[in-house]
Amino acid sequence: MEDVLFSHPVVLNLRPTGQRKVDSAYEAIEAMQDGWPDRSTHGRAYRRALRTCRDALDGWQSGSRCRRAFVKAARSARLIAPGR
């Protein structure tokens, strides 16, 4: 499995640790599994992003599709840093 890089990083606001820059499909999966705030934000967008990013690592989805799904999940969880 080879990591899939994003064209531009996604910056998350994670409490209490601060900001986290996510540059790839692997980092997105790691952020969703380890840094997501709580179970109540694990809705449809979260599950779709997790699946899409895993598929990108397997070569079934593009990096841009993985990034879009990840951004949508982060927005749903209100984790996107202001001005991003």
Question: Is residue 63's pLDDT more than 90?
Answer: yes
What pLDDT does 65 receive? 97
**Which range is least confidently modeled, 36-40, 70-74, 75-79?**
36-40
Mean per-residue pLDDT for 55-77? 95
Categorize the per-residue pLDDT at 25 as very low, low, confident or very high, splitting at 50, 70 and 90: very high
The answer to whether 68 touches 48, Cβ cutoff 8 Å, is no
